[in-house]
Amino acid sequence: MSTAPGTIVRNLTFQSENLGRETTILLVFDTDMEGLYDTIYPVVWKAITFPARGSYSYDVTYTDNFAFSKADIGHDNLVRTFRHFELKPGQKTTLSLKDNNKTRFSPPVNDIKDYLTAENETGFLQDLAVGFYNPSKAIMAKPDPLLFFKEDGEWKQLCNPSKASMTGPDPMLFFKEVEDGGKATAQWKPVLRIYVESDYQETEVLVNAIKGTAILEQDLRRLFRNTVFNLKRNTLTRRFKLTKTNP
């Protein structure tokens, strides 16, 4: 994925070998911020499952290219995003309603340093999300047909609405019911927490804090561009540990 000059990029590789049991780790940005679990909810960025036996490796890339988007909450608190606009920390965009009754984000303008902000000027409550912008994902997803029916002599298909929308940014924070004239705003801190948990899915909104303790808390600004994390399990204590090396 190509990036603009000045973009912060962190390529993270997670690997394991013979863990002894199938293990899932969650990558979440859930550090303390104003409004957390009240108006702002973290979203599971990545859920990576490692096998009990053999070697396994998984790559993820973090950049500071973000995008605000409209969001819908579906089954199991999974969030899907659509209609988005790219911005950087310290910028603000405005969501408004156009003459054709479609919403649109404005080009971003400079705002409060380190904050990501979207104003709601649609006249209605809006669920919003901010996530990682990936141009390759900005395509129309094909809907999944649920059943076919006949109308006016023609066969038509009823589709799964969760798959019939624009594929948007990978969400990391969800803002519930932003009022008209209100703002969705958060001070962005690129601090990644990693948990060993199997009860969550990617894009799941965390309505409450994860009860377990993170096995790693890492400010991504302090890493090199490329970092390898080794996941290991102590067979005596059954505890997990992530150690990092530079490739």
Together in a domain, 70 and 182? yes
Residue span of the structural domain in which 245 resides? 1-33+42-64+190-247
Q: How far is CA 159 from CA 145, 149, 162, 203, 228, in A?
A: 4, 11, 9, 21, 41
Q: What is the pTM of this model?
A: 0.85
pLDDT tens digits, one per residue of 178-210: 999 999 999 999 999 999 999 999 999 999 999
Domains identified in the chain, total number: 2
SS3 content of the chain, % helix, strand, coil (to 5): 5, 55, 40
Q: For residue 89, how many other CB atoms are within 10 A of its CB?
A: 19
For residue 150, pLDDT beyond 60: no
Q: Is residue 154 part of a domain?
A: no
Together in a domain, 178 and 232? no
pLDDT tens digits, one per residue of 65-101: 999 999 998 888 999 888 888 999 999 999 999 877 8
**3-state SS assignment for residue 174:** strand
